[in-house]
Amino acid sequence: MGSLFAELARRASANARREVETYVREIPELGSLDVNSRARDETLEYSVWFRRRTLELAPVNGMLTDADLVFIASMGESRAGAGMSLDSRQRVLRVHTELMLREINEATEAQRGGDVDELMRIMSWFAPQGERGIGAYRQGFVTALRRRLPYAEQIGLLARSLLSDDPMAAELALLTGVEPAGYYAVTVIRMPDRPVGDRDLESGIEALVRDHQVPVTWCPERGGTGGGGGEGGGRGGELIALVPGGGPDTVRSAALPDLLAAPDPSAVPDLLRDVARAIGPLCAVGTAGAPVGELAGALDRARRISRAAPLRRTSARLRPHTLADVFVELTVADVPYVDEWLRTVARRLEPGPDLLLTLDAYYRHDMNRGSAAEALNVHPRTLDYRLRRVRELTDIDPGSTRGVRILSSVVARSLSGAWR
C-alpha cells in the first residue's frame, strides 16, 4: 500500500468520528446520535467500514460487490425506517461526500503532495463507485418508504423530489408506478380554506393520483390556518400537481416570449374538475411549464400566479391561469401605491349591487352582454344598469380601453383575496 493510502488508513477511525460529529452538528434530525448510543455506534461502524473498504478496493480499482451494495442499502433503509426526511437524507449524502474528498486532500497535504499516481487512482475510483454507493443507499431508502408511508405520502415525496431536482425522483417514480415525464405544467391550486379533514384530504389526493397518474402534494399554509376567512373555516394551503405533457416545442408561440406561452396540457382542466369534487369550495389556480431540472422556477411562477388569480367557487368551471392572464396584477402587487389606488376604486363600487361580480362576468365573457347576463342570471337590461352604475361611481366607462385596463385589475385584485 502506497503512502497516501497508508495515511488514509491511519486516519480512518478519526475521520469516521468527525463525520458522525458533523452529522450531529449540522443535521437536526441526527442530533439524537448524541444521546442514542446504539444509533451512534451503528453510524460510526458504517463510516469506518466505508473508509476501509475504499482503501481495499481503490488501489486495485476494484468494484463494490453486491454484498457491499446490500450493506449500503441497509443503511439507507435503516435511516428511512427511523423517519429521516428527504431533505436530511440529501444533506447526509452531501456531508459524506464532502468529508471524503476533504480527507483525501488532507492526507495528500500531510504527505507533502504524495504520489500523484495514487491520488489519481483513488479519485478515479471514488467517482463511479461513490455513485453506485449513493444509488444503493437511495434504493434502500425507497424500500423503507414503500413499507412505512401511505401511497398519498409516497406521491407527495415524488412531487417534492421532482420540484427540487432530487435524483431519487426516478426511484420514487418506480415505487409509485407513476410514469416520469420530461416536461411538466406545474399547477398550484390555492385554497384559503378547505373543509375536509386530513384523512379526507389524503384519500382525495390518492384518488386524484390513481385517476390521473400525476405527482401531487399538499402544502399547508404557513401559520396553520386559512388566510382568507370565508367559507369552511378550515386550514388553507396549496395543492401542487405536476401535469405531464407539452414542452418547449408545443407551448412556445412565435408571437409571445417563453414566459407568456401557456403550458396548458389538456389534462389540467380534467384534473381541476376532480379537485373541485374532492377538496375545497374556493380556489385560485396558477400554472407554469418547465422541463425536469427547472421545475423549482416553474413552481415559484405558478405560486405567484395563483396568488394573483381570482378565487373561484369550485362548483364553477375552473381553469388554470398563466402569466399572460395576470401579469398586470403581479406587477401591481409589487407597487404598493398603485395597489392602494386600485383598492380605492374598488371601494367606490361598494354601494352598487354586486358590481364587482358583474364586472368579473362582463370581462370573463369578453364584454359580450348576452353571455355575461346569462352567466349572472339577470336580464341584459339589468346588466346595462349595473355597468352605468359603475361609470357613475368611478367616472370610468367599463367598456372603454381605460376601463378595461383599470377595472379588470380592480376585479382580479379584489377576487384574489389580496385585500382581505
pLDDT (0 to 100) of residue 411: 94
Distance CA(177)–CA(319), nearest Å, equals 27
Distance CA(370)–CA(121), nearest Å, equals 78
Tell me, what DSSP letter sits at residue 207? H
DSSP labels, 209-244: HHHH---EEEEEPTTSS-SS-SSS----EEEEEEEE
Tell me, what DSSP letter sits at residue 279? S
Q: Is 66 exposed, middle or buried (0-12, 13-18, 19+ CB in 10 A)?
A: exposed
117: CB partners within 8 A, 6+ apart: none
pLDDT (0 to 100) of residue 51: 93
Distance CA(20)–CA(40), nearest Å, equals 7
C-alpha angle 302-307-310 in degrees, rounded to nearest 5: 110
Sheet (strand 183-191) strand order: 216-220, 237-244, 183-191, 282-291, 312-313
**Is-contact 208 214, C-beta < 8 A?**
yes
Three state DSSP letters for 285-296: EEEEEEECCCHH
Question: Element (H or E) spanning 185, and its range?
Answer: strand 183-191
Neighbours of 102 (CB within 10 A): 12
Domain ranges of the chain: 3-148, 179-328, 335-415
CATH architecture for the domain at 3-148: Orthogonal Bundle (1.10)
Provide the residue-wise pLDDT of the chain in tens; the chain has 420 residues: 458 888 999 999 999 999 999 999 999 999 888 888 898 999 999 999 999 999 999 999 999 999 999 999 999 998 888 888 878 888 898 999 999 999 998 988 887 756 788 888 888 998 899 899 998 998 898 888 888 888 888 888 899 999 998 887 888 887 888 888 899 989 998 888 765 666 666 777 777 777 778 898 888 876 443 333 333 345 688 889 998 876 554 444 444 444 544 554 455 667 777 766 666 667 888 999 899 999 999 999 999 999 999 988 766 667 788 898 899 999 999 999 999 999 999 999 998 879 999 999 999 999 999 999 999 999 999 999 999 999 999 999 999 999 999 999 999 999 998 887
Q: To which residue does cell 378595461 refer?
A: 404
Distance CA(358)–CA(343), nearest Å, equals 17
Does the 335-415 domain belong in CATH 1.10.10.2840?
A: yes
